[in-house]
């Protein structure tokens, strides 16, 4: 057993548990701040500090094991700035980022966003790409972002990094990435219901089998 402090209150929990499991073990009923439970959705953003250490650490509660004398607080929602735009009316110019997210040019290069990222992304680098209008590079660098918002919670320039990255990926997907005829065909097949039975079959498979299918899938280069 290890001692953890959840929102300031001490609990003794098994050391094998994740932070999320420890919260449930302690009696918390999770209504918000829990989603996929596999480190993909970003809903369980968490900050913690180990007693006696000065460093404030960040993680996802569903995929981080508890440690002895861990002080935990969750960040189930962070109010990001979400610009409103019509993808049919904007273009992948440097000016569009200036118009929608001008705060990215106030970046001081402190790298707090990168240090805080729960996915280990080079956040400051993809913001630099966005500043220069290099949306293809920004899209690639930010591809694994789970929109947890921890980076933004640490930013002195008040940048909404996940939303900047989302815009870059949308611009890249619509205007810059090579057009894929087979993707259009696949969308049409899905709309026609061709894969309905296959999807239902997939939903009934054991989780381990689904993970294996995902990890061994053919990836287009």
Percent of residues, the chain, with pLDDT higher than 90: 84
Query: Which residue in 88, 90, 114 sits closest to 101, CA to CA?
Result: 90
Instruction: Give the C-alpha separation, 180 to 166, whole Å.
Output: 20
The answer to whether the beta carbons of residues 155 and 113 sit under 8 Å apart is yes
In which domain, by residue range, is 153 found? 94-176
Assess if residue 221 is contained within a domain. no
Mean pLDDT by 10 residues, the chain (221 residues): 95 97 95 86 94 94 96 91 95 95 97 96 98 97 95 96 98 92 91 92 92 85 65
121 in the same domain as 172: yes
Judging by beta carbons within 10 Å of its beta carbon (0-12, 13-18, 19+), is residue 200 exposed, middle or buried? exposed
58 in the same domain as 33: yes
The per-residue pLDDT for range 130-175, each reduced to its tens digit, is: 999 999 999 999 999 999 999 999 999 999 999 999 999 999 999 9
Domain count, the chain: 3
17 in the same domain as 41: yes
Question: Which domain-ending residue is among 74, 107, 131?
Answer: 74
The answer to whether the beta carbons of residues 30 and 54 sit under 8 Å apart is no
Question: Which domain-ending residue is among 11, 45, 74?
Answer: 74
What residues contact 184, with CB distance under 8 A and at least 6 apart?
Answer: none
């Amino acid at each position: 057993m290890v001692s953890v402090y959840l929102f300031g209150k001490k609990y003794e929990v098994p050391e094998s548990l994740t932070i999320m499991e420890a919260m449930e073990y302690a009696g918390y009923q999770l209504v918000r701040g829990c989603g996929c439970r596999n480190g993909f959705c970003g809903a369980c953003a968490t900050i913690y500090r180990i007693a006696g250490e000065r460093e404030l650490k960040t993680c996802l509660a569903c995929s981080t094991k508890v440690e002895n004398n861990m002080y935990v607080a969750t960040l189930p929602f962070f109010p990001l700035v979400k610009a409103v735009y019509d993808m049919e009316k904007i273009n992948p110019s440097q000016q569009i980022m200036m118009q929608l997210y001008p705060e990215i040019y106030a970046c001081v290069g402190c790298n707090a966003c990168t240090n805080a990222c729960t996915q280990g992304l080079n956040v400051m680098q993809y913001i630099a790409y966005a500043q220069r209008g290099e949306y293809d590079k920004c899209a690639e660098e930010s591809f694994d972002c789970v929109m947890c918002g921890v980076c933004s919670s640490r930013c002195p320039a008040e940048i909404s990094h996940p939303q900047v990255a989302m815009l870059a990926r949308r611009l890249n997907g619509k205007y810059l990435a090579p057009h894929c005829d087979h993707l259009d065909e696949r969308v049409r097949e899905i709309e026609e219901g061709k894969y309905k039975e296959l999807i239902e079959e997939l939903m009934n498979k054991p989780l381990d089998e689904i993970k294996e299918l995902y990890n061994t899938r053919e990836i287009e280069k």
